Amino acid sequence: MKNLKEILFKVTVDAIYGDTSTLVKDICFSSKKVDKDSLFVAINGYNTDGHNFIHEAINNGASTVICEVLPKDFKKLKSVFVKVTCSKSALSIISSNFYDNPSSKIDLIGITGTNGKTTISSLLFDLFNRFSIDSGLISTINIKYSDQDIGSTNTTPDSISINYHLSEMIKSNVKICFMEVSSHGIDQKRIEGLSFKGVIFTNLTHDHIDYHKSFANYRDTKKKIFDSLSNNSFSLINSDDKNSKYIIQNSKSKKYTYGIKNKSDFNSTILEIQLDGMLLNIDKNEIWTKLIGDFNAYNILAIYSLGKIYELDTIRLLKTISQLENVQGRLQSFITKDRVTVIIDYAHTPDALENVLKTINKIRTAGQRLITVVGCGGNRDTKKKTVNWGFSF
């Protein structure tokens, strides 16, 4: 239990109606989850407006309501009302305050970009744990730390969940957490109030235009996390991406770069690709990895680069990276009883799908047929469904 005044610290408040010493047991943005002494935050979301459920939340026991628009009868209601400029921002800040600002007590590493977030975050989690550095993971697939392995529903969870799990990680002596940061998560202010030790930028291609309306908006949303970094943090940037200089132009963070085409702080060259792996030269050291494809060469280089930033031993780092297994659903290959090779990949953007198909075409023999099955979600970005890939099979 915390008193309201304590968890409102740093929230931009327009007005407070009631006693700020009121005790708060938990925080909810769904009226159905509200219980006695809960704080309910009314969020105007993508599909529904939480302001329509304020009365239901109070009936369920909410002691405090945070909202942008006060109900007409708010003075007749027993709960404390806090009017704010932005409920989404308020939710993130009070969530951090409620759990004693856990991101300031752990090395929180964000991974953002169109492609590669899940692979990089998941392999970094595995890598650092192999170095006996207790690590946590918040990814598209799952949230993992200690003996916890919880399935995810969003790439970047809501701010209550993020701060709760970071708090639990600290209790489990986790030292570093790798978290995927999506453009939706940034735009919806789920990461506001978090203290990032560092952020990795993978790349930027066509994605989520149905939500952001234009590529410029999508790019500028990604840029916000780098603009928010302090001079005590670092950014690790794919220098081969044409958006990289723009992304970090206003960042106060210490900047590191990695690349295959452009001279960078950390460099790599692809020497050989086969169906079961590829040979890379990273900073003049050869390494065999079980991952394949140009895009995975970038992912491996990003992982290596972060290991070097954390001053992990180079030889042991390369050896451990060579032992890492591919992430579930990311260019996984299987051979059927009939000796048919089946490759499964999560590719859902034009750039990602093109990269996967180019990689397979490089490896397959001239006589092998390539049959593709591609799906697209309904009521989403229509440009993904109308791209002419230019491949013949």
pLDDT in tens, 278-313: 999 999 999 999 998 888 999 999 999 999 999 999
* Average pLDDT score over residue span 220-229: 96
Per the model's pLDDT, the better-predicted residue between 155 and 232 turns out to be 232
Model pLDDT, residue 121: 97
Model pLDDT, residue 271: 96
Q: What residues make up the domain containing 10? A: 2-97
How would residue 354 be classed by pLDDT, with cut points 50, 70 and 90?
A: confident
**Same domain membership, residue 68 and residue 193:** no
* Average pLDDT score over residue span 84-92: 97
Counted domains in the chain: 3
Angstrom distance (rounded) from CA 275 to CA 264: 28
Angstrom distance (rounded) from CA 355 to CA 197: 31
Model pLDDT, residue 386: 47
Q: Is the pLDDT of residue 258 over 50?
A: yes
**Same domain membership, residue 361 and residue 214:** no
**Same domain membership, residue 48 and residue 33:** yes
Of 227, 190, 221, residue with least CA distance to 207:
221
Report yes or no on 391 lying in a domain.
no
Model pLDDT, residue 211: 67
Average pLDDT along the chain: 89
Q: Is the pLDDT of residue 368 over 80?
A: no
Report yes or no on 392 lying in a domain.
no
Model pLDDT, residue 237: 98
* Average pLDDT score over residue span 84-90: 97
CB 4, CB 66: distance < 8 Å: no
**Same domain membership, residue 237 and residue 118:** yes
**Same domain membership, residue 126 and residue 90:** no
**Same domain membership, residue 360 and residue 256:** no
Report yes or no on 390 lying in a domain.
no
Q: Is the pLDDT of residue 344 over 80?
A: no
Residue type, 291: L
Report yes or no on 29 lying in a domain.
yes
How would residue 388 be classed by pLDDT, with cut points 50, 70 and 90?
A: very low
Model pLDDT, residue 335: 66
Helix (H, G, I), strand (E, B) or coil at 228: coil
Q: What DSSP designation does 53 have?
A: G
How would residue 329 be classed by pLDDT, with cut points 50, 70 and 90?
A: low
How would residue 331 be classed by pLDDT, with cut points 50, 70 and 90?
A: low
For residue 338, report the phi and psi dihedrals to the nearest 5 degrees.
-90, 10
Of 182, 28, 193, residue with least CA distance to 102:
193
Q: Is the pLDDT of residue 385 over 60?
A: no
**Same domain membership, residue 120 and residue 87:** no
**Same domain membership, residue 153 and residue 38:** no
**Same domain membership, residue 163 and residue 210:** yes
Q: Is the pLDDT of residue 340 over 90?
A: no
Model pLDDT, residue 374: 73
**Same domain membership, residue 257 and residue 199:** yes
**Same domain membership, residue 305 and residue 339:** no
Q: Among 97, 124, 156, where does a domain finish?
A: 97
How would residue 118 be classed by pLDDT, with cut points 50, 70 and 90?
A: very high
Q: Is the pLDDT of residue 256 over 50?
A: yes
In Å, how far are 22, 39, 57 from 35, measured between CA atoms?
Answer: 15, 9, 8
Model pLDDT, residue 207: 60
Q: Bridge partners of 225?
A: none
* Average pLDDT score over residue span 150-176: 94
Model pLDDT, residue 242: 94
Among 131-135, 195-199, 298-302, 348-352, name the one with the lowest average pLDDT: 348-352
Q: Among 56, 82, 97, where does a domain finish?
A: 97
Angstrom distance (rounded) from CA 265 to CA 41: 44
Q: Tens of pLDDT along 66-77?
A: 999 999 999 999
Q: Tens of pLDDT along 92-106?
A: 999 999 999 999 999
* Average pLDDT score over residue span 270-282: 91
Helix (H, G, I), strand (E, B) or coil at 40: strand
What's the CATH number where 72 sits? Answer: 3.40.1390.10
Model pLDDT, residue 305: 98
How would residue 393 be classed by pLDDT, with cut points 50, 70 and 90?
A: very low
* Average pLDDT score over residue span 148-172: 93
**Same domain membership, residue 66 and residue 110:** no
